[in-house]
């Protein structure tokens, strides 16, 4: 198996699926000759040509609207929004058209579309290039939301998303694009949507996270383990559909929970996780559920290290619930 970055794994998945199925189309700003702002689509234009790798104007609503039409009439488009921060002009298309088309048409049309976009901080991008707005979209019935945390998962989840007959929002943690490497099989494989993983097992505290927060949580958990606090880390992989079974089984075992996400704390997806645990496993809880998240402010440029959760904050939360 090759050692790939998360970015290379995404590129490999796109290339393999485009070779396998000529209905797979890529479109977006600078995805063609330039290979994308992060080079996720590098080399695809040269191999598949301008009819399957389409450079578009800077018009997010138009990109998604065009992709919806393509999907309804038999193609499998993969539109890219350069940064999640610029997804909002297409919000109406995503939540009112893309997510609702199968329901609205009584199953006459589906929208097999994967909307790829990099999210989150870690590159000193300031408040217009660092947002984590996944909660807006997890609130949208009909839309699946996928967030990989490592190269192996990125390839397997992206292939599953491309082959899915419903629309998928595929969020790529840009902080991890080139900062982590992992073994990725060169052959075809898929990771089912809706199935979490447990990269670190433990018995005393459950830490739940996704995307760029997973390496941070593993680092904090390993430090806690060194001090005798057996800590389990759950990588959700997909937010919608959510693997409640894995979450609840872990909570029932440990009785203590820390939830970590990069978005602002208020109204973040961690609130939904906390509510599910309180509703379905409160009799197993031995301490309050703690949320470690971003601040309720715009994402700062110079103070990223204060805004975003880090191993120290997660470690302190693990100790706090353990000692409650």
Q: Bridge-partner residues for 233, per DSSP?
A: 200, 207
- Identify whether 129 is a catalytic site residue: yes
Positive or negative: CA dihedral 55, 57, 60, 66: negative
Angle at 98 between CA 16 and CA 271, to 5 degrees: 95
Residue 291 bridge partners (DSSP): 259
Q: Which of 127, 129, 139, 305 is catalytic?
A: 129
Three-state DSSP string of the chain? CEEEEHHHHHHHHHHHHHHHCCCEEEEECCCCCCCCCCCCCCCHHHHHCCCCEEECCCCHHHHHHHHHHHHHCCCEEEEECCCHHHCHHHHHHHHHHHCCHHHHCCCCCCCCCEEEEEECCCCCCHHHCCCCCHHHHHCCCCCEEECCCCHHHHHHHHHHHHHCCCCEEEEEEHHHCCCCEEEECCCCCCCCCCCCEEEECCCCEEEEECCCHHHHHHHHHHHHHHCCCCEEEEECCEEECCCHHHHHHHHHHHCCEEEEEEEECCCCHHHHHHHHHHHHHHHHCCCCCEEEEECCCCCCCCCHHHHCCCHHHHHHHHHHHHCC
Distance between the two ends of the chain, CA-based, in angstroms?
A: 44
Q: Which residues are marked as active site?
A: 129
């Amino acid at each position: 198996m090759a050692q790939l970055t998360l970015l290379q794994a995404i590129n490999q998945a796109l290339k393999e699926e485009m070779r396998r199925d000529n209905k797979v189309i890529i479109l977006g700003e600078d995805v063609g000759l330039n290979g994308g702002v992060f080079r996720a689509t590098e080399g695809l234009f040269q191999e598949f040509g301008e009819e399957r790798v389409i450079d578009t104007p800077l018009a997010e609503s138009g990109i998604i609207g065009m992709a919806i039409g393509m999907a309804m009439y038999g193609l499998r488009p993969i539109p890219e929004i350069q940064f999640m921060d610029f997804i909002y002009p297409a919000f109406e298309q995503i939540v009112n058209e893309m997510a609702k088309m199968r329901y609205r048409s009584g199953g006459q049309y589906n929208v097999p579309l994967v909307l790829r976009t990099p999210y989150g901080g870690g590159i000193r991008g300031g408040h217009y290039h660092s947002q984590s707005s996944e909660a807006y979209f997890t609130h949208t019935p009909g839309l699946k939301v996928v967030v990989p945390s490592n190269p192996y998962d990125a390839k397997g989840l992206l292939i599953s998303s491309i082959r899915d007959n419903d629309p998928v929002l595929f969020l790529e943690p840009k902080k991890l694009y080139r900062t982590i490497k992992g073994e990725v099989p060169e052959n075809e494989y898929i990771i089912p949507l809706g199935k979490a993983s447990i990269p670190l097992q433990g018995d005393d505290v459950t830490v739940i996270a996704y995307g760029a927060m997973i390496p941070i949580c593993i680092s904090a958990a390993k430090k806690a383990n060194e001090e005798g606090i057996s800590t389990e880390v759950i990588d959700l992989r997909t937010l919608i559909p959510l693997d409640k079974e894995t979450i609840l089984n872990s909570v029932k075992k440990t009785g203590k929970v820390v939830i970590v996400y990069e978005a602002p704390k208020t109204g973040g997806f961690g609130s939904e996780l906390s509510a599910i645990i309180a509703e379905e496993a409160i009799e197993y809880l031995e301490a309050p559920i703690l949320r470690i998240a971003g601040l309720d402010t715009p994402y700062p440029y110079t103070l990223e290290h204060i805004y975003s959760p880090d191993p120290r904050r997660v470690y302190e939360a693990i100790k706090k619930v353990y000692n409650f």
